[in-house]
Amino acid sequence: MTDIHGEFANSRYFHAQRIDRRAADTLVGLAAGLIADNVVTQEEAVFLKRWIEQNLVHLEDPVINLLYRRVSEMLADGILDSEESSDLLSILRGFAGLPIQSAIPAAQVSVSRPTDLPYCSPLPELSFAGKNYVFTGVMAYGPRKDCQQLVADRGGVIGAAISKKVNVLVVGSVGNEQWRHASYGTKILKAVELREAGVPIAIVSEDHWQAAVFA
């Protein structure tokens, strides 16, 4: 409906900003509902993508844009595989944990990043040939398989779990501030235990890893 005379703009209840906030608040509720059973199916992912397209894609909000971009990437081949489903579950957990008032306006929103993480200090120089890499958390760069491919293209080896054979653990930039309680917290804690036992395993942020990959 076209607001020819500015009725919606002047309304106390139906102006555009209020409608946008309702939609953003609804998305937080949808995210919480989708993760209630601890799994995100392909049908749910398709529904989420379409809902954002119909209701929120116009907001140009960085958090909503990230969510929409990642869901679109996961569904680009028409299949939401188990790893993508797990990543989407992690993203929605973080999204549902955002304060509702943070959904908009866009200028006041930033992606929640893990804090108080036990990164190596000083930061190690990363190499790839023959090195065993493990990823944990949700990567801002894109799907985890794409990040793994970047390592493989440079001669690196991809590990599935933390062990003495792992050289580098990369922690995704998109995460829950309470990282010890997040789904990827166990990998970090295991890596810390090995490092403290003298195993030369590096724990680095995605930002540091990206700087090495694209150097």
Residue-level pLDDT at 17: 55
Residue-level pLDDT at 109: 37
Residue-averaged pLDDT of the chain: 76
- Of 28-37, 52-61, 99-108, the poorest mean pLDDT is in 99-108
More confident residue, 193 or 98: 193
Residue-level pLDDT at 5: 43
Give mean pLDDT, residues 130-134. 97
Residue-level pLDDT at 155: 97
Q: Is-cis flag, bond preceding 122, omega within 30?
A: yes
CA distance 62 to 100: 15
Q: Among all chains, which residue has been given the structure tokens 């166990």? A: 186
Distance of CA 208 to the CA centre of its chain: 17
More confident residue, 4 or 48: 48
CA distance 98 to 52: 17
Give mean pLDDT, residues 150-154. 97
Using alpha carbons, select from 205, 124, 122, 193 the residue that is nearest to residue 164: 193
Position 31: which residue type? A
Give mean pLDDT, residues 40-64. 82
DSSP state, 174? B
Q: Among all chains, which residue has been given the structure tokens 């930061």? A: 123
Cα angle 14, 19, 23 (rounded to 5 degrees) comes to 155
Residue-level pLDDT at 129: 97
CA distance 4 to 149: 52
Residue-level pLDDT at 165: 95
**Whole-structure pTM value:** 0.57
Cα angle 190, 191, 197 (rounded to 5 degrees) comes to 95
Residue-level pLDDT at 169: 95
Handedness of CA 8, 12, 17, 19 (dihedral sign): negative
Calculate Rg over the CA atoms of the chain: 20
Cα angle 47, 137, 105 (rounded to 5 degrees) comes to 55
Residue 130: CA count within 13 A, CB half-sphere? 0
Are the C-beta atoms of 27 and 98 separated by less than 8 Å? no
**Would you say residue 154 has pLDDT above 90?**
yes
More confident residue, 177 or 75: 75
- Of 11-15, 59-63, 122-126, 163-167, the poorest mean pLDDT is in 11-15
Q: What are phi and psi of 9, to 5 degrees?
A: -65, -30
